[in-house]
């Protein structure tokens, strides 16, 4: 599993005009190739009368699946430039369809590459980009006398607290990035002289979206 993965949280739609041709970019996050195909099919149905619906998508933690299509544009002038934008921005599990309505003026191969690249960039810029982090749910059970020190440590390590429950003891639920788990365990044990129970839970991806924790 990758420790970090950049993707988009929600899709978006944007439009640019190049020499009277409209280039409409539609983006979407993905979890499977079937979802990618359904998304592309949906955009094509919506823009059934467009001149072209060119697309690209990347799937997998290391982009194990990559596809692109020029959809009738000269070879290499649409799908590949869109895909290159995704790879250049290091985005995973995302699809972009760039729809073109021809405006009557030929752009040439160089002009097409620039237009499709620009449209793809604009679509990404209008999307909500997030960084998913691979983490472990960690539960800390401690005395009230220790909670202040622990919270100070967690803040210094920039660890995410999902929940805090107060009963006869204090239980904190954390999301700890996989690479920080060992250090966190050592620091908590040292800080509280072994008085804090540390229990590990499931492994998840999480991201901070609009100051809110989203778990995937």
pLDDT of residue 35: 97
Residue range 25-56, pLDDT digits in tens: 999 999 999 999 999 999 999 999 999 999 99
Q: Is residue 1's pLDDT more than 80?
A: no
The arithmetic mean of pLDDT across residues 159-165, rounded, is 96
What DSSP state is assigned to residue 178? G
The arithmetic mean of pLDDT across residues 63-90, rounded, is 97
Average pLDDT value over all residues in the chain: 96
pTM, 2 dp:
0.87
pLDDT of residue 70: 98
The arithmetic mean of pLDDT across residues 167-172, rounded, is 97
pLDDT of residue 63: 94
Alpha-carbon distance of 155 to 170, in angstroms, equals 17
> How far does CA 101 lie from the centroid of its chain?
29
Q: How confident is the model at residue 61 (pLDDT cuts 50, 70, 90)?
A: confident
Domains and CATH numbers, the chain: 4-126 (3.30.230.30), 131-215 (3.30.70.240)
Q: Is residue 2's pLDDT more than 90?
A: no
Contacts of 160 (CB under 8 A, 6+ apart): 135, 174, 175, 206, 208, 213
pLDDT of residue 151: 96
Residue range 112-144, pLDDT digits in tens: 999 999 999 999 999 999 999 999 999 999 999
Q: How confident is the model at residue 93 (pLDDT cuts 50, 70, 90)?
A: very high
Q: Which long-range contacts (CB under 8 A, 24 or more apart) does 65-72 make?
A: 65/33, 67/33, 67/36
pLDDT of residue 92: 96
């Amino acid at each position: 599993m990758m420790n970090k993965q950049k993707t988009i949280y929600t899709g978006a739609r944007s439009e640019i005009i190049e020499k009277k041709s409209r280039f409409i970019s539609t983006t979407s996050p993905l979890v499977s190739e079937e979802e990618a195909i359904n998304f592309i099919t949906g955009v094509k149905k919506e823009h059934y009368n467009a001149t072209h619906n060119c697309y690209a998508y990347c799937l997998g933690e290391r982009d194990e699946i990559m596809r692109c299509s020029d959809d009738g544009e000269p070879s290499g002038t649409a799908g590949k430039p869109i895909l290159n934008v995704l790879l250049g921005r290091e985005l995973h599990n995302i699809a972009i369809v760039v729809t073109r309505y021809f405006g009557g003026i030929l752009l040439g191969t160089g002009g097409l590459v620039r237009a499709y690249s620009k449209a793809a960039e604009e679509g990404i810029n209008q999307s909500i980009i997030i960084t998913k982090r691979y983490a472990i749910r960690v539960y800390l059970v401690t005395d009230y006398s220790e909670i202040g020190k622990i919270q100070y440590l967690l803040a210094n390590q920039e660890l995410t607290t999902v929940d805090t429950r107060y009963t006869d003891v204090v239980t904190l639920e954390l999301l700890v990035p996989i690479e920080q788990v060992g250090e966190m365990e050592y620091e908590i044990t040292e800080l509280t002289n072994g008085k804090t129970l540390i229990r590990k839970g499931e492994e998840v991806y999480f991201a901070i979206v609009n100051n809110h924790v989203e778990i995937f």
